[in-house]
Amino acid sequence: MSQFLKSKALVGLLAFSCLFPQPQTASAQGPDSPNGPTGTSGTNATPAPQGLPFLTMPPAVNSQALSAPPLSFVDVNSGRFGKLEIDLTDGQFLNGSTDKLHLTAKDMDLTQGELKSLDLELKGAHLNDFIVDKLTLSTQGALNFDTGLLFNQKMLQFRSPAEAQVTALISQDSLNKFLKAPTTLNRLSVTAGQKAAILANLLGAGAGNLGLTMETADISLLNSNRVNISATGKLGLAQLAVPLSAQVESRLFLQDGWVQVGDTKLMTAGQEISPQLSQMLVAKINNLSNLGQKSDDIHFSFTNLKVVPGKQLMVTGTAQVNRLRFGRQS
């Protein structure tokens, strides 16, 4: 009887083991087991779900799949652009600055150094103390430029001068800011150390070297391209200098493609005084306006001048552009 009970218990234990198999240990796993030599060993290993294949990738394949090749989105040195536009605010350049700049280049090939056309618009362009409220420049014909200078020196150097249509607008307010600048007043003055024969003639041959110090100036744009400049200063030498308050009446005109002043009268208390002194002031004013002609970068040749009384003057014409600078020299 006891032998029969032992046999029955053994059969039941075997049946229980078949219904609820126990996890295998590492020593019991074969080479084809999911947790075999390539799986995770140990008694705490989690068995793979029954009926689903358990896949593993070789280490070399995993490493290669995760590495990405280097990407270069923009290769500027060999770039080609059907249309390139640049909007710039508060730009600082070699000898000036601009409040706003908009540049449009069409069919630009940096590899060949070629350009079909270039349109440039500047607002609030500052050259030293001189302000151009708006300047537009539009080139004509295909252009060739030096790519190396563009990248290395930030300079668009044309192999032959670019012909361009130009319009410049200068407000009366900007002209007054220029005249009131200390550097402008200093250039309009004549220092006592200079040989001022013209000034000496005003007070007699024994007056010696005299000085003309300009303290302030104000300009008004009038009809028929005329301007009126109110100026105050001192004429004389040191303590002997006397106050000078005068009105300079002139006319604006174009000469050799540039704006000049002429037909000038120097008035004080309604009376014209010293044509010689008037001519001296005219020469100095024209010398100020000729600053733009001294640049080798752009040569302007204006053909039309229009003055709107109390507001602005506008000049239109052409220009030969040798280069455009977009950075400061180190």
Query: What local confidence, expressed as pLDDT, does residue 47 receive?
Result: 56
* Per-residue pLDDT at 106 exceeds 60: yes
Q: Report DSSP state, residue 290.
A: G
Residue 113 lies in a domain: no
CB 137 within 8 A of CB 322: no
Whether 9 is in a domain gets the answer: no
Give the integer Cα–Cα distance in Å for 109 and 91: 25
Distance in angstroms (rounded) separating the CA atoms of residues 113 and 134: 29
What is the rounded distance in angstroms from the CA atom of residue 157 to the CA atom of residue 134?
23
Inside any domain, residue 5: no
Most confident range (mean pLDDT) of 90-99, 104-113, 267-276 is: 104-113
Structure tokens at 115: 């350009």
224 neighbors 306 (Cβ within 8 angstroms): no
pLDDT of residue 210: 58
- Asked whether residue 28 is domain-assigned, the answer is no
Q: Which two tokens stand for residue 46?
A: 């989690």
The reply to whether 195 falls in a domain is yes
Q: How many domains in the chain?
A: 1
Q: Which position has the token pair 């037909």?
A: 263
pLDDT (average), residues 131-144: 93
Per-residue confidence at 307, pLDDT binned at 50, 70, 90? very high
Q: What is the predicted pLDDT for the residue at 26?
A: 46
Which secondary structure element, helix H or strand E, spans residue 227, and what is its range? strand 226-236
Is the distance from CB of 293 to CB of 127 less than 8 angstroms?
no
- Given a contact cutoff of 8 angstroms between Cβ atoms, the answer to whether 133 and 155 are in contact is no
Confidence of residue 44 (pLDDT cuts 50, 70, 90): low
- At residue 84, the 3 state secondary structure works out as strand
Q: Is the pLDDT of residue 131 over 50?
A: yes
Nearest Cα neighbor of 296 from 275, 323, 318 is 323
At position 161, the amino acid (one-letter code) is P
pLDDT at 32 over 60: no
Enclosing domain of residue 237: 174-294
- Range from 28-37, 203-212, 286-295, 314-323 that averages highest in pLDDT: 314-323
Q: What angle do CA 244, 249, 255 make, to 5 degrees?
A: 125
Which pLDDT score is estimated for 283?
77
pLDDT of residue 201: 53
Q: What is the pLDDT of residues 197-212, one digit of tens each?
A: 545 555 444 444 556 7
Residues sharing a CB contact under 8 Å with residue 36, sequence separation 6 or more, in sequence order: 29, 30
CA distances to 19, 140, 192, 198, 278 from 205, rounded to whole Å, are 134, 58, 15, 10, 19
Does residue 192 belong to any structural domain of this protein? yes
- Alpha helices (H) along 94-153: 147-153
Q: What is the DSSP letter of 36?
A: S
**pLDDT category of residue 113 using cuts at 50, 70 and 90:** very high
pLDDT, residue 116, reads 93
* Residue in the structure block whose two tokens are 């070399």: 60
Model confidence at 235, in pLDDT bands (50, 70, 90)? confident
- Distance from C-alpha of 289 to C-alpha of 270, rounded to nearest angstrom: 27
Q: Does the CA dihedral 258-264-267-273 come out positive or negative?
A: positive
Give the confidence band of 312 by pLDDT, cuts at 50, 70, 90.
very high
Cβ neighbours, 10 Å, residue 226? 16
Mean of pLDDT values over 158-172: 95
- pLDDT of 274 reads 65
What pLDDT, on a 0 to 100 scale, did the predictor assign at position 219? 92
pLDDT at 51 over 60: no
Predicted confidence at residue 183, as pLDDT, reads: 86
55-88 pLDDT, tens digit per residue, is: 555 555 555 566 666 665 666 667 788 998 999 8
Look at residue 277 and give its three-state secondary structure. Answer: helix
The verdict on residue 80 lying in a domain is no
Question: Within a domain: residue 229?
Answer: yes
